[in-house]
A and B are shown apart, each in its own frame.
Chain A
């Protein structure tokens, strides 16, 4: 079974609107971490936001917030007030309890239109 599922291969959003990128995960561990990374067309991987499984509050970093629904095993990324520079691939990743490696989803390509 897929550990990380990103069901939206591509998304479009109008500049200045908010957009939600979906991520569901599968783990039986109680302790885990969820991450979002951005990969622009230039290729680098940029860390955006982190949510720990025991964190009660949803993580926020500037225009990025993580909508964490533990019972549903979802960790959706919300980008508010989209900008043209937000056009990129977005990857959801999970680190399970005793393991240090990140397991990545297939990614969602976001295009922001003016």
Chain B
């Protein structure tokens, strides 16, 4: 079975540009999560969806961040405008139910210059 697929794996862009990160969850998984990993703050949940509906976005740092899940097989995380402090590894994860383990994608390493 294919795991969670994220793209791109690496993104380097200049401050002020729009960044779009993409995620395809494992087929049949009803929950999708976006996490951010930094040295200073570790792994933090940004937002999660259940059946394509955003449930908790309290971890989204600012209005510059937005996430969508237009269908069960695709989600995006956008940052507009991007800032150097957004540099981090962004992970997408999915789970079958709320009680099942979350399976992570390989992450997107984002660098904002």
Contacts and interface: CB of A to CB of B under 8 A. Distances in A.
Contacts of A52: 99
Contact of A106 (B33, B42, B91): B42
A47 B42 contact: no
Interface in B93-113: 93, 98-99, 101-107, 109
Interface residues of B, number: 23
The 4 A-B pairs of least Cβ separation, nearest first, read A45-B104, A104-B43, A101-B45, A44-B106
A91 B91 CA distance: 15
A47 B104 contact: yes
Contacts, number: 48
Contacts of B93: 45
20 contacts: A33-B99, A37-B104, A43-B106, A44-B107, A45-B104, A45-B107, A47-B101, A91-B43, A99-B56, A100-B31, A100-B33, A100-B48, A100-B50, A100-B55, A100-B98, A101-B45, A101-B59, A102-B45, A104-B42, A105-B42
Nearest to B59: A101
Q: State the main secondary structure of chain B at its contact with A.
A: strand
Contacts of B109: 43
B43 A50 contact: no
Interface residues of A, number: 21
Contact of A107 (B31, B42, B59, B106): B42
B89 interface: yes
Contacts of B102: 35, 47, 102
A106 B104 CA distance: 17
Interface in A23-50: 33, 35, 37, 43-47, 50
